[in-house]
Amino acid sequence: MKYTRQPLPFLMIIILFSCSQKEGGTHSHGDGTPAHSHDQTKETFSIDQLVKEVKTVPDSIIEYLHAQHHSHKVLERRTVPAGYETKNLKYWKNYASKVEDLPAINPGPGEYVHVMEGYKHGYQNLVIGITETFPGGAPPMHTHKGEESHVLLEGTILYALGDTLFTIEAPYIVNIPPMVPHAFKNIGEKTANLVVIFPTNVWEYDVLDYFPFKEEE
Spatial separation of the C-alpha atoms in residues 172 and 153, rounded to whole Å: 7
- CATH, residue 77: 2.60.120.10
| pLDDT confidence tier of residue 37, bands split at 50, 70 and 90 | low
Percent share of the chain, pLDDT over 70: 80
Spatial separation of the C-alpha atoms in residues 30 and 35, rounded to whole Å: 10
Composition of the chain by helix, strand, coil, percent to 5: 15, 35, 50
Spatial separation of the C-alpha atoms in residues 82 and 57, rounded to whole Å: 17
| Mean pLDDT over each residue of the chain, to the nearest integer | 85
- pLDDT, position 215: 62
Q: Which residues pair with 77 in a beta bridge?
A: 56, 206
Cα 120 to its chain centre, rounded Å, is: 18
| pLDDT digits 0-9 by tens, 119-174 | 998 899 999 999 999 999 999 999 999 999 999 999 999 999 999 999 999 999 99
9 is a domain residue: no
10 is a domain residue: no
User: Is residue 14's pLDDT more than 60?
Assistant: no
- pLDDT, position 153: 98
91 is a domain residue: yes
| Among 177, 170, 140, CA closest to 156 | 170
60 is a domain residue: yes
Question: 142-143 and 127-133: which strand pairing?
Answer: unpaired
96 is a domain residue: yes
Domain count, the chain: 1
The domain of 154 spans: 54-208
7 is a domain residue: no
